[in-house]
Structure 1
Amino acid sequence: MLRRHRQSARLTLEQLAGASGVSARTLSDMERGRSKGPQHRTVTALADALGLDEADRKQLVELAREGRLRDRWTRPIGLCELPRSVDDFTGRTAELAWTNELVHAGDAPGVAGVGLITGSAGLGKTTLAVRVAHALRPGFPDGVFFLDLFGMSPQPLPVDEALGMLLRALGIADQQIPGDVAERASLYRSLLHDRRVLVVLDNATSEDQVRPLLPGGGAGKALVTSRRLLAGLEGVRRLSLGPLPLLEAAELLTGILKDDGASGEGSAIRQLAQLCGGLPLALRIAGNRLVSRPGWDAADLAARLMNEERRLDQLSAGDLKVATAFGLSYEQLTDSTRRVFRRLAPVPGWDFDAALAAVVGGTSIDGAWDALDELVDLGLLQDSTSGRYRFHDLVRLFARDRLQKEETTAERDALTVTMTSWLLRMATTAGRLFDPAYIHSDRPDADLAGLSSPEDADHWLRVNVDNWLGALRMAASDGRHSAVLDCAESMHWFSDRWMHAPHWHEVFTLGAEVAAALGDPARQATQLNLLAWVHLMPRNDPETTLRYTAQAMDLATRSGAATQIAWAHHTAGGALRRLGRLDEATAAETQAAATFKANGDVSAYCQCLGALGTCLRDAGRYTEALEQYLDLLALLNEDQPGITPSGAALIRAIALARVGECLGSLGQRTEAITKLTEAISLMEQARLPVPQAHSLETLAALLSDEGRTDESRHAHARAAEVYEAIGDTEASNRCRDLANAAP
């Protein structure tokens, strides 16, 4: 009848679809008899678009009603029915769009409309799938079904039982259901091929459990949720669910509390959302607790959650418990993986790699990879393309709880010592690869073999800074003074490469404190000199620098540590130069240079030569300064023994930049631009962002003076990016303004 009315109106399927708002696919299904009982609002929209008279309109509506009644009586009602959707569902806009695209993309030839939603416990996979299924229900007139596969249960739903339940829901009588699993699966696929059905398969445990339950193409679609990645499933579209962003997490809490005066607790709500880590289950529990206790407010619960030791206990409401959700995943792990999981909890940094996992888990690197893969597969760890892993905050607390309950105090203490010792040995070995005194030292121990070059060491120290710095703190608090001092001393030369890092003050303060505790004034002077450097370079506080160098000088003099006396002179020289006391600065640098040269310390001697050149430059003696820098570059080019390649690269880059500055001051702008461009490239290779940013500013000014406006703006824009990366907002804004200035 629908086809007859459409043809009488001289409309194509597409034209009727456009006029009625009903999809062409749905119209086609109705005309071919696939959809025998469309919804009332669909039929009335078609009647309006076709301009039917009252009699024809009534007949069409009645036929659709009869079709719905026939459909109702030909299949059992209530089997595999969807759970209700929560009213306060919040966010997930991109994920909802993904599912909508999935359903429509599945209409294309050869595309099976199967979506797989994965993620750890408590992320709201089921809630999202149910929400989607309810929203898409009008587009699936032949049924929307939901089946819990009990994937985290000790006994997941067997495939034959799952197929039997779905076949009954599709209207197949018990006596018509085959006994063989393969035959059941074949019948099931054939039914889905010709019916507009959406099947939600919740909480899947394995590929073998899911494969027979998926449509083989055609009209039927499926959404699968699982804590496991189910990496073996082919031909499915994947959605990895993550925590809610803070704004959406706060919105969810506000929605739960909408009748309980949450509007006046904005800051407390945001704090509570942050403490829940954006985990929908935790947010739901927190909200339910507040709703069920009218005397509480968000600030009260947030105060309770601040205590990490009690946070998981507080995140429970009735039969909803965050710890229980994580526990179901934990029970799925092998014993060896459980051990790695709980022993990763005390790792001090935000993330870690397989090498550290092997150390704490007491396993081989291959064993660590296997455990980490299993943990990622179950959503208990998050991984990244860089080969590093991290916990969700609440999962880490759960792992810590398991460690507390499953291992003795002695085992936990031994774990702490093992972990911190390895981290400090790694950091110390990595730091020494930049020290000229260790150029010809033995290679690292076998378990530190990942550090085979300065490049490896640089990478390890940067990405693991939270871990080795945390280990340094723990060792200091445990009284392991020698290990702390060795590590702090090893960072002397590496700190030059990463001078903008915020942690050097803490590293060298701990070093000075443990040196004092050991009663070693010479090594204490070393750490005080390094603290003086921190205040000179990253902090630009020359007055404090001079106070530290005075203390270092006193200790070094009393202990006869000539090298540290020289370092105190050198660092003080830098502070004096910045204060404009150039004669004193020159005298200090000259004295330091003489000592370093006599001791054969080429790296330190070269630094002093560069500093003397800078004193000449600041005095306006550009020709003499230029000669000093050129002599320094010539010395470096002689491939001097006792200086590391990385140390030489650092000094060469800065000396070349100073040559460019002097040439610019002498009016030789073209050559100055060439030298600065070369220096900036070397600084980028050596990862020296602070001098690189300064040199980019100098280059931009010279380019502007030469009338090369576009190049000048580009240099200022690059300088702004580098300054932003090192956290110098003021300098970044200054350079960005110059880059964007009108001509």
Structure 2
Amino acid sequence: MTMEQLAEASGVSARAISDMERGHSRAPQTRTLAALADGLGLDPRQRAGLADIARQSRSQTGAGRPRLCELPRTIGDFVGRSAELEQAAALTEEGKDVVVVHGQAGLGKTAFAVKLAEDLAGRFPDGRFYLDLRGTDDDPMAVGEALVRLLRACEVSPRRIAETDEERSSQLRAVLRERRCLLVLDNAANEAQVRPLLPGDGPGMAVVTSRRVLGGLDDVRRIALDPLAPEESATLLQGIAAQAVDPAVAAEVATVGEFCGHLPLALRIAGTRLATRPAWTVAHLVARLADADRRLAVLATGDTGVAAAFALSHAQLPEEAATLFRRLAHVPGVDFAAPIAAVLTGNDLPDAVDGLEQLVDLGLLQPEGADRYRFHDLIRLYAAERLRIEEPPGTRAETARLMRDWLLATAIVAGRWFEPGYGCLPDGWSGLVPLATTEEADAWLQAEAGNWLGALRVAAAAGDDQLVVDVAESMHWFSDRMVFWAGWYEVYGMSRAAAARLPDRAQELAHLNYFAWAAMLPARRPIEGAEIAMGAYELAVRLGDKRQQGWALQYAASAWRFSRTNLDRAYQAALESLRVFGEIGDHDAYVQQFQGLGLLLMDQGRLDEAIEQFRTAIREVAARPVSPMPARGALAGAHTFMAECLVRAERWAEALAMAEAALPLVDGFANTSMTGQVHLTLARARIGLGMPAMARDHLVLALQMIDRNLPDHIGLAREQLAAIDGSA
């Protein structure tokens, strides 16, 4: 055989074979020898002789010493990452020569890269080399030193290694061009450190790990590691600690995983604590981790700790970014957008975005969609720890107050877009978020619900009663846009309590009614809602407030309908509510009452009477001076529920026309669940008309949109979809 023929037959590069023949490669790996034996077609006796020669060569030359850049020990209980390992292996098949594995501290990037190198051993018979670039150290490895180590690992004689970094980089690429080698470049600091170490054209490959995305590297594939799945966390804990294996403690094991944020480093430390303390139970560990202020301290053992891992990334932050990082611990919600960061630091919006992206780049913050961000739970605790250490109490309190006031002021402005008496921005208002339309106001209120609700809790705890009431009042009409949000029960529970402490009894009455609605519908506690509503009605009678009497009767009627109790009383209450609003000339409230009456009749199977109520609502909206938002709400409900009535009556063509008229009224205005109900009605009407193929897309949309609090609708949509798919 020629050298080229042997290379083709064995898979070992011609350059590597040449290096062995010339004595430059003194200790070929066992896999390389096996590949050569296969290529040469050696029998067992000849293979044994070749192995003896290799052993003698190592003994004579001292090549039995540890090789440079050997891979670290593989973790025996490695868990998960199947999809990412398959993705990386597929990239190898595609001939991609650089893969960047990135993510926050503690995700197990090094373990992943080493496991990948072991899995791919057969594809790289000329060597797999590991180099820790010490990217999180105060003094990362210099490029020149890294190049020398890699060249020596490739058995380039020290006398032949070039003098300059540029020449060494070229030399490394030349060596790798002829060899099937895998480089694991672990813990990279930045692009400038990595770029000279990467292979060029040829069969070689590099796997780079970094806490940074390394966005400046061109023509590379990136794999982002996420926390483990809950079941993977449980498997990892069970592999480390015997106490976690018992099925009876599965719930406690799951809780440990949650407290660890499903972060492999945290899970390993937690598991080690259990394994080294046989007297501990999993419940004991749960109790230790439950204290959020002590959790990071618990997640440390020996010279390893979660906080210590985060600190390495934190140390690389410039002062302004470090300030932003710790102040983001003030944010009450799960995620947030850049304007909150601007408020916390006093920067303008572009600078706030830049600061957030710096934190993302270092793995201290996670992007959430196009323009939102979130902390990993343990990094949030670390940020809070830095905040307590680095800022005095007065500064912390002032920053938190600024954020609270901004969130609540913005919430009031956004919420009032939906009130009949407002419906626009206040004169001279300017803010960090666009609120020039109802769509923009709706988007902000929904996206930041967790944050403005958190700010409202702070205001309530501080006794800022009028502010709490003002925020809740501004949400009254908007609340129909996210009607099933459980947070309304808390919002109006706080505002009811705050209003009761203020001298204005009319204000107290209004918020008692709002609380009745929140208990009845969003919280799905209709019996409680009916009791609260009737209490509000009695107070309204004592105060002589007709308008609030009408609302209390409406809420009581709806609550009785939802609880399937007192249906006759519910119908009489709804009629009385309609009469009261008509008597006082409250047109906005008057047109809403027909929807409740129609739904009560529909639930009792009195479909023709229900349809007439919905038709009356449409006529009354046209005849009365109703404000735009209440008018559209009444029309959306009347068309939606009339279409459903017509379907129940099997008046298919009428139902289809009515649902088609309802769709533009609810789309982008009502909560998505109502839009889903319209799609369900469209599907049922088309099925009734013998057009099931045209119904399928509507059913899919219905299942995506209908809230889980409407199980009957969801069940019907699934049943219809299964019937269509089963007959196809």
Q: TM-score, normalised by structure 2?
A: 0.88
| SS in structure 2 of the partner of residue 343 of structure 1 | helix
How do 1:590-605 residues align onto structure 2 when only pairs under 5 Å count? Answer: 590-595=578-583, 597=585, 601-605=586-590
In structure 2, the partner of 1:20 is: none
Q: Please say which of residues 558-567 and 656-665 is displaced more in the overlay.
A: 656-665
Q: Please say which of residues 241-250 and 676-685 is displaced more in the overlay.
A: 676-685
Shift of 1:452: 1.4
In structure 1, the partner of 2:69 is: 80
Q: Please say which of residues 448-457 and 57-66 is displaced more in the overlay.
A: 57-66
Say whether 1:656 aligns with 2:628: no
How do 1:542-581 residues align onto structure 2 when only pairs under 5 Å count? Answer: 543-575=527-559, 579-581=567-569
In structure 2, the partner of 1:101 is: 90
In structure 2, the partner of 1:126 is: 110
- How has the CA–CA distance of structure 1 residues 523 and 660 changed in structure 2, closer, same or farther, with 3 Å as cutoff? same
What one-letter code is carried by the residue in structure 1 that aligns with 2:109?
A: K
In structure 1, the partner of 2:78 is: 89
In structure 2, the partner of 1:737 is: 719
Deviations 1:389-432 (A, max 9, x none): 00111100000000111111112222222122111112221111
In structure 2, the partner of 1:209 is: 193
Deviations 1:335-370 (A, max 9, x none): 111111111112111100001111122222122111
Deviations 1:2-32 (A, max 9, x none): 88999xxxxx96xxxxxxxxxx671664997
How do 1:422-437 residues align onto structure 2 when only pairs under 5 Å count? Answer: 422-437=406-421
Say whether 1:370 aligns with 2:359: no
Conserved 8 A contact 1:521-1:556:
no
In structure 1, the partner of 2:400 is: 416
In structure 2, the partner of 1:294 is: 278
- How has the CA–CA distance of structure 1 residues 33 and 473 changed in structure 2, closer, same or farther, with 3 Å as cutoff? same
In structure 1, the partner of 2:136 is: 152
In structure 1, the partner of 2:24 is: none
How do 1:75-474 residues align onto structure 2 when only pairs under 5 Å count? Answer: 78-106=67-95, 111=96, 113-257=97-241, 265-439=249-423, 442-443=426-427, 445-474=429-458
Deviations 1:675-708 (A, max 9, x none): 1233145324324344445555655555555555
Conserved 8 A contact 1:700-1:716:
yes
- How has the CA–CA distance of structure 1 residues 131 and 553 changed in structure 2, closer, same or farther, with 3 Å as cutoff? same
Question: Aligned residues: percent identity?
Answer: 40
Conserved 8 A contact 2:323-2:345:
yes
Whole-Å Cα distance in 2 between the matches of residues 620 and 270 of structure 1?
47
| SS in structure 1 of the partner of residue 166 of structure 2 | helix
In structure 1, the partner of 2:572 is: 584
Conserved 8 A contact 1:2-1:31:
no
Whole-Å Cα distance in 2 between the matches of residues 57 and 539 of structure 1?
75
Shift of 1:463: 1.4
Conserved 8 A contact 2:169-2:196:
yes
Whole-Å Cα distance in 2 between the matches of residues 144 and 72 of structure 1?
22
Shift of 1:317: 0.7
Conserved 8 A contact 1:147-1:200:
yes
Deviations 1:24-70 (A, max 9, x none): 6716649974776866567668867987667766777678778x759
Conserved 8 A contact 2:253-2:282:
yes
Say whether 1:670 aligns with 2:653: yes
Shift of 1:483: 1.1
Conserved 8 A contact 1:273-1:283:
yes
Conserved 8 A contact 1:193-1:217:
yes
In structure 1, the partner of 2:517 is: 533
Whole-Å Cα distance in 2 between the matches of residues 33 and 277 of structure 1?
51
Whole-Å Cα distance in 1 between the matches of residues 100 and 631 of structure 2?
54
How do 1:481-520 residues align onto structure 2 when only pairs under 5 Å count? Answer: 481-520=465-504
Shift of 1:375: 0.2
| SS in structure 1 of the partner of residue 486 of structure 2 | coil
Q: Please say which of residues 69-78 and 134-143 is displaced more in the overlay.
A: 69-78
Shift of 1:510: 0.9
| SS in structure 2 of the partner of residue 83 of structure 1 | coil
How do 1:699-714 residues align onto structure 2 when only pairs under 5 Å count? Answer: 705-708=688-691
Deviations 1:523-563 (A, max 9, x none): 11111212222344446665544432332233334445443
What one-letter code is carried by the residue in structure 2 that aligns with 1:633?
A: I
- How has the CA–CA distance of structure 1 residues 272 and 673 changed in structure 2, closer, same or farther, with 3 Å as cutoff? same
Deviations 1:650-678 (A, max 9, x none): 22122223443565677754223211233
Unaligned runs of 5+ in 1: 7-11, 14-23
- How has the CA–CA distance of structure 1 residues 26 and 264 changed in structure 2, closer, same or farther, with 3 Å as cutoff? farther
Conserved 8 A contact 1:572-1:588:
no
In structure 2, the partner of 1:9 is: none
| SS in structure 1 of the partner of residue 185 of structure 2 | strand
Q: Please say which of residues 347-356 and 668-677 is displaced more in the overlay.
A: 668-677
- How has the CA–CA distance of structure 1 residues 554 and 162 changed in structure 2, closer, same or farther, with 3 Å as cutoff? same
What one-letter code is carried by the residue in structure 1 that aligns with 2:406?
A: W
Conserved 8 A contact 2:489-2:523:
no
Q: TM-score, normalised by structure 1?
A: 0.86
Conserved 8 A contact 2:595-2:614:
yes
What one-letter code is carried by the residue in structure 2 that aligns with 1:415?
A: T
Whole-Å Cα distance in 2 between the matches of residues 287 and 480 of structure 1?
45
Shift of 1:482: 1.1
What one-letter code is carried by the residue in structure 2 that aligns with 1:686?
A: F
- How has the CA–CA distance of structure 1 residues 469 and 162 changed in structure 2, closer, same or farther, with 3 Å as cutoff? same
Shift of 1:316: 0.8
What one-letter code is carried by the residue in structure 1 that aligns with 2:639?
A: L
Deviations 1:459-510 (A, max 9, x none): 1111111111111111111111111111111111111222111121111111
What one-letter code is carried by the residue in structure 2 that aligns with 1:589?
A: S
What one-letter code is carried by the residue in structure 2 that aligns with 1:604?
A: A
Shift of 1:583: 6.1
Shift of 1:291: 2.6
- How has the CA–CA distance of structure 1 residues 667 and 258 changed in structure 2, closer, same or farther, with 3 Å as cutoff? closer
| SS in structure 2 of the partner of residue 580 of structure 1 | helix
Deviations 1:268-310 (A, max 9, x none): 3332222111111111212222233333233222210111010
Aligned length: 716
Conserved 8 A contact 1:122-1:322:
yes
* Of 512, 521, 540, the match for 2:505: 521
What one-letter code is carried by the residue in structure 2 that aligns with 1:209?
A: Q
Whole-Å Cα distance in 2 between the matches of residues 43 and 628 of structure 1?
87
Conserved 8 A contact 2:636-2:665:
yes
Whole-Å Cα distance in 2 between the matches of residues 701 and 130 of structure 1?
55
What one-letter code is carried by the residue in structure 1 that aligns with 2:207?
A: L
| SS in structure 1 of the partner of residue 207 of structure 2 | strand
Conserved 8 A contact 1:563-1:595:
no
Conserved 8 A contact 2:554-2:574:
no
Conserved 8 A contact 1:500-1:726:
no
- How has the CA–CA distance of structure 1 residues 580 and 543 changed in structure 2, closer, same or farther, with 3 Å as cutoff? farther
- How has the CA–CA distance of structure 1 residues 178 and 359 changed in structure 2, closer, same or farther, with 3 Å as cutoff? same
Unaligned runs of 5+ in 2: 22-26
Whole-Å Cα distance in 1 between the matches of residues 649 and 286 of structure 2?
63
| SS in structure 2 of the partner of residue 447 of structure 1 | coil
Whole-Å Cα distance in 2 between the matches of residues 413 and 604 of structure 1?
43
Whole-Å Cα distance in 1 between the matches of residues 646 and 30 of structure 2?
84
In structure 2, the partner of 1:17 is: none
* Of 595, 612, 618, the match for 1:633: 618
